[in-house]
Amino acid sequence: MNPDIPLQLLGGISAREFLRDYWQKKPLLIRQALPDFESPIDADELAGLALEEEVESRLVIEHGERPWELRRGPFAEDEFSKLPERDWTLLVQAVDQFVPEVAELLEHFRFLPSWRIDDVMISFAAPGGNVGPHFDNYDVFLLQGHGKRNWKIGQMCDAESPLQQHADLRILAEFEETESWVLEPGDMLYLPPRLAHYGVAVNDCMTYSVGFRAPSAAEVLTHFTDFLSQYLPDEERYTDADVQPVSDPHQIQHDALDRLKGLLAEHMSDERMLLTWFGQFMTEPRYPELVVGPELEEEDLLGSLEQGAILIRNPSARLAWSEVDDDLLLFASGQSRYLPGKLRELLKMICAADALHLDNLGPWLADDDGRSLLCELVKQGSLGFADE
């Protein structure tokens, strides 16, 4: 994708202009980002997903048994028929993992790293339905799929912004409206992190939310240090071989902190370890139980492909790759594997191609490393046979 070509999705500006002027800086309203858009899923189908055990779903009822009542799925089929006529919202996470046509929408956002995209959440709201004024700590694109929704934006927020008392929902106690728009099918609103927003359904409406993964500093420190600790021997400890006699044995001297910082810096600055952890962390699947593959031998894989079998990415899998010196590093659903540089084009194809088959895999099936990689990805569950 040429980053300087104007994009309809971004209102006629280029990806480069959007990233320079708007991304993580300010909101952007785009009328008819996807002209004549028709939702690939309707309200009944969305409700059907919310009945499934493996699908994460929520109902927010503004005037339920208590203000802003939150119910978590899976739901019983008759539960929807008992809902009031207005002021409620059904939210279903990761619909892209269950409906291929929804996953195809993500192709419009390939000017951003795919490993940054979290999922496509779809909400259906009855008239007046909303989840209260709130803010997110990540970027989000809000695409109107059906009906009309009135979106209002407000102030920038942070951890100190006052919230209403609620056990589960982070509803702002104060909302300072600055602008508002009514979005219709095909319209889209981009919001940077921490910007207060408030969407209220004008009529029965459906909104697609494309959210992005943004680990907090606390998550990075906690998870990375946990990862590092797996590789550090117990014998590696704080040392002070150069310590000088002390005048007060109860005082912690600053040179002790210098030695401690040196111990931490030695490992925290290991770029190879940091990259390995980061790639694994950012490709962890939302639903690991859906990324499971069969036991398979290489000759069985080769035989299936020769008979016309097609491999596709598991919708729940996440793939990325990087370079480390002369080697490549593949990240697949929370795992990583070092590979020789000769497999670069195969890695790019595995991550990007809609389907893998004898025609585009041919040369790689004759390569021991390439064949082994494909077999391991099928066994791990990140790739699977199309007919399954």
> 108 and 46: one domain?
yes
> Which CATH number does the domain housing residue 142 bear?
2.60.120.650
Residue 240 lies in a domain: no
* In a shared domain, residues 307 and 159: no
**Cα 344 to Cα 114: distance, rounded to the nearest angstrom:** 18
Q: Residue 13: inside a domain, yes or no?
A: yes
With a cut of 50, list the residues of the chain below it in pLDDT: none
Distances (CA, A) of 141 to 41, 188, 305: 18, 7, 39
Q: Are 155 and 178 in contact (CB under 8 A)?
A: yes
Residues 143 and 198 grouped into a single domain = yes
Please give the Cα distance from 43 to 7 (Å, whole number): 29
Q: Domain check: are 48 and 168 in the same one?
A: yes
Could you tell me which of 167, 136, 128, 166 has the C-alpha nearest to residue 153?
Answer: 136
The one-character DSSP state at 172 is: B
**Domain assignment present for 169:** yes
Range of the domain at 259: 216-233+253-269
Q: Does any domain span residue 347? A: yes
Which residues have a Cβ under 8 Å from the Cβ of 298 and sit 6 or more positions away? 371, 372, 375
How high is the pLDDT of residue 207? 98
Please give the tally of structural domains in the chain.
3
Looking at the structure, do residues 119 and 182 belong to the same domain, yes or no?
A: yes
pLDDT of residue 242: 82
Q: In this structure, are 174 and 192 located in the same domain?
A: yes
Domain shared by 258 and 373, yes or no: no
Which whole-number Å values give the CA distances from 154 to 26, 133, 170, 176, 191, in the listed order? 11, 9, 15, 5, 11
Would the pTM count as exceeding 0.85?
Answer: yes
- Residues 157 and 297 placed together within one structural domain of the fold: no
Neighbours of 249 (CB within 10 A): 6
Q: What is the pLDDT of residue 26?
A: 97
Cα separation values, 377 from 98, 333, 342, Å: 20, 10, 18
Question: Quick check: is 227 in a domain?
Answer: yes
By CB neighbour count within 10 A (0-12 exposed, 13-18 middle, 19+ buried), where does 161 fall?
middle
